[in-house]
Amino acid sequence: MRPFGGGGCRPDGEGPRDDLLNRLSSSAYLDEEIQHHILERAEVLVQAGWDEDAALEEATRRFGDVDGVRREMGKARGHREGPSTIHLLTAFSAQVRYAWRGLANNVVFTAAVVTTLALGVGAATSVFSVLDALLLRPMPYREAGRLIEVNKGHKDDAYTFGLPIELANGWKDAAAEFTDGWLEYSRTSLVRTDGPVTEELNVLAVTPAVDTLLGIPLLMGRSFTPADAVPGADEVAVITAGYFRRLGADPGILGSTLQLESGPVTVVGVLRGGIKFPQILTQPDLWVALRDDHTLLDRPAESLDGVWARLRPGIELGPAQARADVLASSLQEENPQPRGWQVRLMPVGSHRANGDMKRAIWALTATVGAIFLIALVNGVNLLLVRTAARLRELAIRTAIGGSRSRILGQFLVEGLVLGALGGVAAAGLAALTIPAIGRIVPRQVLLFSPHALEMESRTVLFAFTASLVAGLLLGLLPSIQILRHRALHVTLAGRGTHQTRGRRWIRSGLVMGQAALSTTLLVVAGLFVRSYATLATVDPGFDHQTIAMADITFSPTRYSEAADRAEFVRRLGAALDASPYTDGVTTTNGSGITFGVELLAEGLPAPASQPTMVPFTTVATNYTTVMGVVMASGRGFLPTDVDTDAAVVDLDLARLLWGQADPVGRRFRVWESQPWYTVVGVAEELRLLGRDQRSGPYQILFPASPDEQDRHVEFAVRTTGDPARILGFVRSAVLDLDPAQPIDALRTASAALAEEEGTPRFTVALFTLLALIALALSGVGLYGVLANSVAQRERELGIRLALGAMPRKLRRSVVANGVTIAGVGLMLGLAGAMVASGTVEPLLYEVAPRDPVTLLGTAVFFMLVAVAASLMPARRATRGDPVEVLRND
């Protein structure tokens, strides 16, 4: 067994080897051999009736001059005397090998410590990978420090939006005074008609500046040139490495032509690896040039997904933003924007995580920090128990002249070996959990990060650093304990070594700390669970249980005419409605959010406070009926409302504008230059963007004309039974109508709502899992301390049993001990939870941070676990046969 292979030098038994490695490691072995002899001799003396301490002293005396013998042994092996200053690494590796042997001899102990470390560090590593992708890792672009995003935002709100296309050219010219590079990109999808299969390709249109700004890593061919962006130039494409592989990695692809539904494009280059742009979820198959007139493949780009610029050298963000504010007012005249809008310059990637997400990530980081500490305490406790068992060995080593520094060194190396093993296990665990997290992480979370959630070198480095630090602490703490014991009390007859009161208190104190930390985590997790449960019971204002939904995006080439789209919608609606399983079909034609609103009711003063944003949705006139929206007053839309100023608002908005008065028949407007709308009905509740109130408390519906249809349409089909059962029927109805028309999303309304709530659900799942790990670890910690103290008291307990003590009473005393430790920890933890819950409060939905149900529930649950952890050692306390126990002693 030589896991740290290499030198091939066994320190013993292979003849003379005059190298330092051999010398140093064998010096440890020499000590051990001498120590073994003294122990054996002392044992013989004890059997002959000597007192234990005297026996050890006599055995050492009979051995003779320990130092002299050690020197002679060294000489016998051909070693020179005197320390060498070189080859420290070799010396270290010898120590490592010695420590490894010690650990390999005690598999159960080693496995326990390594498992504990793996759990603690593994959890920390998994969360680190999320933290890293969202906040820490630098953006993977050339001169990323000078790259900025040019966004649009409202002054009262943190949200940012891409720069509108119509503003892009004006800003590009204006910003040239402080930027020396400008990049725009836009995403679309197109069907390739001459491929092995007819498939839809994801296309990224990007301005040629991408090459000079970011640098395009090419496998072959060329990237875009400014000539490619001139309107009317030949259409060229650079295909991505992924698509290149899918096409069989044939270099002959270069120069060939792909037939897209828009026409032919010539492949001029193949990307190596690639550049991941934020805000683009599906990796593109090919890149094309975004032209100067904002067309791509002869069609106008729908919108820009990103506009980036590079600051001129020496120009800071602050002055650039100040200059942009000045420019904004002059550009405002050419292209007026609603009040409060501004152009926002931000470092690329600075909004990878929004405020709530940052808060959640830091809360998670604190959580895994706590788990790490809990795991560390378990490790330290295990080592303290082992150290107690090794006191005799250490005493003898001190007696035969083993220096304290050498003992300390050995402990540290042992800790490092444990840390390294723990690091391997933790990295392995993280390699399993990180892809799992990647699968359940909501798409919204990683939308703005250019990094994927995956195991990579930084993650592995983190796992090993954390694990080695833990290992170092594990080695250090128990050895300090040992070294402080000036007079090592040594007994030879086995289990007599009693734990000193001090050490028992240290261990109990550590376990209390664990209990406190895990209680805090449990409370926080409990709050998230309660918050999510509350959210799930909120009425979204429509009858989501019986509705199936299908999102459809029309192909820009095949359905370029609004009339064709409207015809498709009409025919699909009729087909769906004809089924005996359906009970009505309606559509949502478009929705959006109006920012910077100035809501005003006609004839009334403006309300004191304005919401930052108001979502609006354009719906078919039967919408409120089919969706089962409960009307507080007025009515839903009628076909005659189309092309009028009719609107339906929710009760929140009605209250804001008209107070308790009935608004039906009254007029309002959203902002100054928009027309007035007349309220025809008020809905009790409308939470179309998810049940979480924060995503939009106000909602306005407008009637859609059946003859106009956007590129996106959302079908809602009401069923007589379980909506999941008609999903297949909806799919085949679409296929019947147009086999080439894909469905973006097909799910029940409840599932759609759950998807909107993906982030809170993810948070709940993660916090709950971590809190349970913490609970399990501290349960093990409590069990360990009690089991050890029972083992230490075996003799006392045996005597008490023999003297007729009631077993039940003894058991109760052990459990009481455990409950006391856990109880004190619980109190501390609840106090900690008061602080911690305040920091997560903004993430909670209608749950008070000091929710009594959560606090009480946590306390009861935790104490149950504590009692369970105490019961096993308590049973063991009275299981032993008293006679046996005493005889063994």
**What span, in angstroms and rounded, lies between the C-alpha atoms of 337 and 316?**
26
72 part of the interface to another protein, by CB under 8 A: yes
Please, what is the minimum distance in Å from the beta carbon of residue 369 to another protein?
A: 39
18 part of the interface to another protein, by CB under 8 A: no
68 part of the interface to another protein, by CB under 8 A: yes
2 part of the interface to another protein, by CB under 8 A: no
**Which CB, 399 or 469, lies closer to another protein?**
399
**What span, in angstroms and rounded, lies between the C-alpha atoms of 220 and 250?**
11
69 part of the interface to another protein, by CB under 8 A: yes
List the interface residues with another protein, window 311-370 (CB under 8 A): none
40 part of the interface to another protein, by CB under 8 A: yes
CB contact at 8 A, 260 and 191:
yes
From the number of C-beta atoms within 10 Å of its C-beta (0-12, 13-18, 19+), residue 10 rates as: middle
**Which CB, 68 or 603, lies closer to another protein?**
68
**Which CB, 77 or 152, lies closer to another protein?**
77
- What secondary structure letter does DSSP report for 674? S
DSSP result, 587-633: EEEEEEEEES---EETTSPPPSS--SEEEEEEE-TTHHHHHTPPEEE
Nearest to 4 by CA among 106, 96, 90: 96
13 part of the interface to another protein, by CB under 8 A: yes
- Give the range of 39-47, 535-543, 805-813, 818-826 binding another protein by CB under 8 A: 39-47
List the interface residues with another protein, window 417-446 (CB under 8 A): none
Determine which residue in the list 20, 39, 473, 593 makes contact with another protein, applying CB under 8 A.
Answer: 39
Nearest to 182 by CA among 345, 312, 310, 323: 310
64 part of the interface to another protein, by CB under 8 A: yes
Neighbours of 669 (CB within 10 A): 17
36 part of the interface to another protein, by CB under 8 A: yes
CA distances from 148 to 222, 452, 833 (A): 26, 21, 40
- Give the range of 59-67, 205-213, 326-334, 732-740 binding another protein by CB under 8 A: 59-67
- Strands (E) across 699-762 are located at 700-703, 712-719, 745-748
**Which CB, 66 or 632, lies closer to another protein?**
66
From the number of C-beta atoms within 10 Å of its C-beta (0-12, 13-18, 19+), residue 182 rates as: buried
- Give the range of 28-36, 324-332, 426-434, 556-564 binding another protein by CB under 8 A: 28-36
Q: How many chain residues bind another protein (CB under 8 A)? A: 30
8 part of the interface to another protein, by CB under 8 A: no
- Give the range of 72-80, 499-507, 715-723, 827-835 binding another protein by CB under 8 A: 72-80
- Give the range of 62-70, 401-409, 639-647, 847-855 binding another protein by CB under 8 A: 62-70
The structure tokens listed for 215 are 């640098």
**Which CB, 16 or 318, lies closer to another protein?**
16
Determine which residue in the list 77, 310, 507, 718 makes contact with another protein, applying CB under 8 A.
Answer: 77
Determine which residue in the list 5, 47, 48, 76 makes contact with another protein, applying CB under 8 A.
Answer: 76
Which residues, in sequence order, are bridge partners of residue 218?
Answer: 271
Please, what is the minimum distance in Å from the beta carbon of residue 13 to another protein?
A: 4
37 part of the interface to another protein, by CB under 8 A: yes
List the interface residues with another protein, window 751-780 (CB under 8 A): none
**Which CB, 41 or 811, lies closer to another protein?**
41
Q: Would you give the binding string for another protein spanning residues 253-282, x where CB under 8 A is met?
A: ------------------------------
Place of tokens 């008293």: 882
Neighbours of 272 (CB within 10 A): 13
Please, what is the minimum distance in Å from the beta carbon of residue 43 to another protein?
A: 8
CB contact at 8 A, 519 and 748:
no
Please, what is the minimum distance in Å from the beta carbon of residue 244 to another protein?
A: 58
From the number of C-beta atoms within 10 Å of its C-beta (0-12, 13-18, 19+), residue 368 rates as: buried
78 part of the interface to another protein, by CB under 8 A: yes
The structure tokens listed for 587 are 């559509």
**What span, in angstroms and rounded, lies between the C-alpha atoms of 830 and 628?**
44
Q: Is 401 left (phi over 0), alpha (psi -120 to 50) or beta?
A: left
β-strands 677-683, 613-619 pairing: unpaired
**Which CB, 64 or 580, lies closer to another protein?**
64
107 part of the interface to another protein, by CB under 8 A: no
- What secondary structure letter does DSSP report for 584? E
Residues that bind another protein (CB under 8 A): 12-13, 15-16, 29-30, 32-34, 36-37, 39-41, 43, 62-66, 68-69, 72-73, 75-78, 101, 105
